[in-house]
Amino acid sequence: MIFEIGDKNALYLCKHFSFIEESERERLENFAASSAVSQRLMELGSKFLPGFCKGPFSLIACLNTLTPQEIIPQRENRIAYLFTFSEPVGTDAVIKIDLLSEDQQKRIVKRERGGMLVWTFSSDSFIYTRNVILIADDQQVITCFPGCLAPPLPSHTLSEEEFTKSTKFWNEHAFIYYEKYD
């Protein structure tokens, strides 16, 4: 499968980078303001390690040379592809609460995210991942990020089954806020 990424979605993917090389930035700035690119780079969430790839376009080019370890059907005819690397590729933004120590669990609090209160964990050190998730509609990349595949936050736009699964997941998991960036 050869994945394609449009300019708008490449700009969206910048939120999963803290730095992109000049050639990728110039390509993005052909259709978006420099400030829009910079704003995406500063957003909270999982981030690719700077040495992993140059930016969103080179990321998709890299993944096009690999075979996913798992293919997972999603809602709205989308498909999630899991790629696992031998070395860490980025930081994770979600963690299962029962994997945290008792002391760490004391630092879990509810914060507003996406109009909802969700569990959050403030970490003073990065939690690294070897996984990359790519979500596509046919061959068109919707998003791509380091970390685990998580359902959308519970919403009444979800089916009853999706809402139940989403609620269960988000009651057992927390978003990671890295104190370095908070």
- pLDDT mean by block of 10 residues, the chain; 182 residues: 93 95 94 92 91 96 96 92 97 94 92 86 90 96 95 89 93 86 50
- Cα–Cα distance for residue pair 147/127, rounded to 1 Å: 10
Residue 2 placed within a domain: no
N-term to C-term CA, the chain = 38
pTM: 0.89
Residue 1 placed within a domain: no
- Give the Cβ contact number of residue 180 at 10 Å: 9
Residue 150 placed within a domain: yes
Expressed as residue numbers, the domain containing 141 is: 7-178
Residue 50 placed within a domain: yes
Residue 111 placed within a domain: yes
Structurally, the chain folds into a number of domains equal to 1
Q: Which residue has the tokens 């569990």?
A: 119
Residue 166 placed within a domain: yes
Residue 123 placed within a domain: yes
- Predicted pLDDT at 182: 46
Please check whether residue 120 is in contact with residue 109, taking contact to mean a CB–CB distance below 8 angstroms. yes
Q: Which residue has the tokens 């104190």?
A: 179
- Cα–Cα distance for residue pair 12/36, rounded to 1 Å: 10
